[in-house]
Amino acid sequence: MEFDRPDGAAEALRAGAFLLRMPDDLDPAPGLDLCRRFYLPPVPGDRYRGHREHGHPASKLGYEDRPDQVEQLQIEAHLWQRYFPEEVTSLLERMEEITGTALHALLSAAGVPAGDADEALGGHHGGLCYTTVNHYRGDLDRRVGIVEHTDSGYITLFHADQPGFEVLDNGRWTPIELPERHFVVNLGDAFDVLTRHLPHPGTAVLHRVAAAGPGQPDRSSFTIYMGPSYGMVLRQYTSDGELVDYQSFRDFSVAKAARMGYQFHDRI
């Protein structure tokens, strides 16, 4: 991963969000197709449609109609092949690789010693990777597309087909322009906790999606999320560079939900 500016990595860590150009041979179209069709009634043989009704019995996540404009489908990486068309799975697997590369580059830029990253990320306990497929319904009269929040994991990468994404930067809500053929990368709570006392800490960026007005086309976005699993303990570097246990990710998530005023649903 290369930044356009010499201070790019430091700025990305400080802001907790940045744009990443797609590789030239990557085609995001199957992902956008899924965003535009997953909620349509099922048609036999069409694996893009029918996900509202599907149930996804092997998944602990699945379909959710949220109280804001978005309805979404969340599926763990090991189930993509089972539930999605082949070209969607290939695209998501490619994006998972890119997300992992970006995560390791950012850990290194934050000051995580070379060779330490796997242990810092929880080692053999493994983490959690899933996609979220979002349909923002412009015709729903709701206050926001998606309410302000920080992501809980280490990193989230997404592609969207139109603007609406906003981050809180230096105390101001800032709309982010989405140039053609770019991903947005966000840092989440687990990265923030891990690197808080390192030379270049990463910020869990507060972000939201503005509501689309009536008559505007529906917005589509799809993401790759990487974080700890709920059975894992969040780790943190001390200012002396020692890697210690911080708090169980489950306890952290319960406390965060209480702070933000929502109920923690332990689905994973």
Determine the Cα–Cα distance for residues 104 and 126; give it in Å rounded to an integer. Answer: 15
User: How big is the site for Fe ion, counted in residues (CB under 5 A)?
Assistant: 1
In angstroms, what is the minimal distance from the CB of 168 to Fe ion? 12
**Per CB under 5 A, does 151 bind Fe ion?**
yes
DSSP class of residue 156 equals E
Beta carbon of residue 20, minimum distance to Fe ion (angstroms, whole number): 16
Residue span binding Fe ion (CB under 5 A) among the ranges 92-100, 117-125, 149-157, 244-252: 149-157
Angle at 132 between CA 128 and CA 134, to 5 degrees: 170
Q: Closest CB to Fe ion among 26 and 206?
A: 206
Q: Segment contacting Fe ion (CB under 5 A): 69-77, 109-117, 146-154, 190-198?
A: 146-154
Tell me how far, at minimum, the Cβ of 132 lies from Fe ion, in Å: 8
Q: What single-letter amino acid sits at 150?
A: T
Nearer to Fe ion by Cβ, of 112 and 187: the residue is 187
List, in order, residues 6 or more apart from 45 with CB less than 8 Å away.
none
Q: Cβ closer to Fe ion: 16 or 49?
A: 16
Q: Are 187 and 155 in contact (CB under 8 A)?
A: yes
Q: Compute CA distances 171 → 48, 167, 174, 179, 241, whole Å.
A: 40, 9, 9, 24, 30
Sign of the four-CA dihedral 185, 190, 193, 194 = negative
The H-assigned helical ranges of 44-170 are 51-54, 80-83, 86-110, 117-120
192 belongs to the binding site for Fe ion (CB under 5 A): no
Q: Does 96 bind Fe ion (CB under 5 A)?
A: no
Task: Considering the complex, state which of residue 122 and residue 188 has its C-beta at the smaller distance from Fe ion.
Answer: 188
Residue nearest to Fe ion (CB): 151
CB of 167 to Fe ion, least distance (A): 10
The distance of closest approach from Cβ of residue 256 to Fe ion in the complex, given in angstroms and rounded to an integer, is: 13
Q: Which is nearer to Fe ion, 204 or 234 (CB)?
A: 204
Kindly state the smallest distance separating residue 66's Cβ from Fe ion, in Å.
Answer: 12
Q: Which helix (H) or strand (E) holds 194?
A: helix 189-195
- Cβ proximity to Fe ion: between 49 and 62 the closer is 62
Judge contact between 178 and 165, C-beta under 8 A: yes
The footprint of Fe ion (CB under 5 A) covers 151
